[in-house]
Homo-oligomer: A and B are copies of this chain.
C-alpha cells in the first residue's frame, strides 16, 4: 500500500517513569525490551516499515533522548540483522519536549518541504499492536479520509472500564466507510475518567479509547494549528524562517494535540481500530506485552519461584527468590528492586517522584551506562574511590581526555588495549596494567575488529563525578 505521499512520524520523547526500575531518566520506556526481543520503539519501527519505507519514517524526540535512541538503534542493528531497517530512520529533534502539538507541528513543517501533499501518520513509540494485517487495512482507510482533508484518529473499542486511558466520544450518527473501515465524527475528547464514568462509557457504546495515533495531511494539521493554537504556530513559523530553534521553543506553549487541535477541529474523525492495541502503560499491563505462563506469571532472569500466581517477576543476574506471591510485581535490577501489587503499579510514578525528592540517584541512571564506544558499569563506589568495568566495542575508542581530580589504574581482563598516556603509546594484553596520573592526557582504544576490550578501572581522587573530563579529540563529537 506504500504510496508516494505517505510518511511516518514516531513520537519518542517520553520517559515512562512507571517502568522504574527498568526505566530511568537515561533509559526511557520506549527503548526497553519489556515485550521480548525488540524494544517498544524497535517494534514500532518494524511494524511501520511494512507499510511505509523506513526512509520515510522520522522519529521526533528531544536532543537529550536523541543520543540515547541513536545508540540504542545502532546497537540493535549490530545485534540483529532484522534491525537493519532502523538504520535508515530519520530524526526530527526538538531542543526539549513541549508535549505533542509542537512536536507534530515541527514534523509537519519538515514533511511539507519534501512533499506539499504529504500525509503523515503519527504513532506513539511505546505502544503494542498485535494484528498487523488489520493495522494495515485501517491505515489504508484512514489515508483515504486524510486525503479528503480529515483529521483522523484511531479509537479502540473499550473491553473494560479502563481508568488509565483517555476516551473519545464519537457522534452516533453519520458513520461513513473509508476503505474497509468506518469513520465517525468526533464529539469530544475525555481525560482519564474515574471508575464510575468509565463504566458508563463502556455501556454507552459511542466511546473509544484514545489510541494516540493520528493520520492527516501535513498541510491540514498546520492550518489547524494556525487556527486553534496560534502561539504554537507562530513559533513553528519562526523556526521555519530560520529563527534559532532553542529560542523559539522557549516561547512555544506546551500543549497536547488533543487539547490544542482535535477538540476544536471541525473535520475530526475517529476510525474504530480493529487491530488489538495496548499502550503497556505500567507494570500492571505487562501481560499485554509478554505471554504469562499457565499460572499467570511472567518470569524473567535468575528467578527461583515456589507457587506464585498472576505475578510479574523480573530478575537480573542476582537471585530473586519468590514464594506464594499473588498478583505482585517484583522487578530487580543491580541497584534497585521494586515490589508492589499489580493493582498499585500506577503508583510507581509516585515512587520515582519520591526518590527524586529524597535525592536518590537510582531513578536517573542504571549502573551500566551506554556510551557510543561501548559501556561502563560502576562496580563499587566509596569515599574517594570508584571501581568501573569498562567495555570498548571492537574498532572504537574513547575520547582523548584528562581529569583534574582523579587518577586511574587500568587492568585489562579481556582483549587488547591500545593506550595513549601523555607522550607514550603502549599496548596491554589481558593481565597487564597501567596507571594514568591526574591531569595527564590519555586515551583507551580497541583496535581489534572482533574482540571486545574489557578493563577494570580503579579511580582515586577527591572528586569522582563524570563531569571531571576535558576532551581534546572525540570520534563522537562530544564536548
Listed in ascending order, the chain A residues whose CB lies under 8 Å from chain B are 20-21, 304, 306, 318-326, 328, 330, 332, 334-341, 344, 347-348, 350-351, 354-355, 358, 360, 362, 379-380, 382, 384-385, 387, 389, 407, 409, 411, 413-414, 430-431, 433, 435, 456, 458, 460
Contact = CB atoms under 8 A, between A and B. Distances in A.
Given A325-B341, A389-B380, A456-B387, A433 B409 contact: yes
B323 A355 contact: no
A318 B340 contact: no
A382 to B, nearest CB: 7
Nearest to A460: B431
Contacts of A341: 323-326
A304 B362 CA distance: 12
Given A306-B354, A350-B306, A379-B387, A323 B335 contact: no
Contact of A435 (B340, B350, B387, B433): B433
Nearest to A341: B324
A338 B323 CA distance: 8
A413 B351 contact: no
A337 B355 contact: no
A328 B339 contact: yes
16 contacts: A304-B355, A306-B354, A318-B336, A319-B337, A320-B339, A321-B339, A324-B341, A324-B347, A328-B328, A379-B387, A385-B414, A387-B389, A411-B458, A431-B460, A433-B435, A433-B458
User: Of A318, A334, A350, which is in contact with the most chain B CB atoms at under 10 Å from its CB?
Assistant: A318
Contact of A339 (B325, B334, B382): B325
A347 B308 CA distance: 13
B319 A413 contact: no
A464 to B, nearest CB: 12
User: Of A326, A355, A362, A431, which is in contact with the most chain B CB atoms at under 10 Å from its CB?
Assistant: A431
Nearest to A326: B341
User: Of A323, A324, A326, which is in contact with the most chain B CB atoms at under 10 Å from its CB?
Assistant: A323
Closest 6 CB pairs of A and B: A323-B340, A319-B336, A431-B460, A385-B413, A324-B344, A411-B458
Contacts of A360: 304, 319
Contacts of A336: 318-321
A34 to B, nearest CB: 18
A362 B304 CA distance: 12
Contacts of A344: 323-324
Given A304-B358, A379-B379, A321 B407 contact: no
A319 B332 contact: no
A319 B321 CA distance: 17
Given A385-B413, A387-B379, A433-B409, A319 B335 contact: yes
Given A306-B354, A355-B304, A431-B407, A348 B323 contact: yes
B319 A460 contact: no
Contacts of A379: 379-380, 387
A435 to B, nearest CB: 7
A414 B433 CA distance: 20
A384 B435 CA distance: 22
Given A318-B336, A380-B389, A385-B414, 7 more contacts: A21-B319, A320-B339, A325-B340, A330-B339, A387-B456, A409-B431, A433-B433
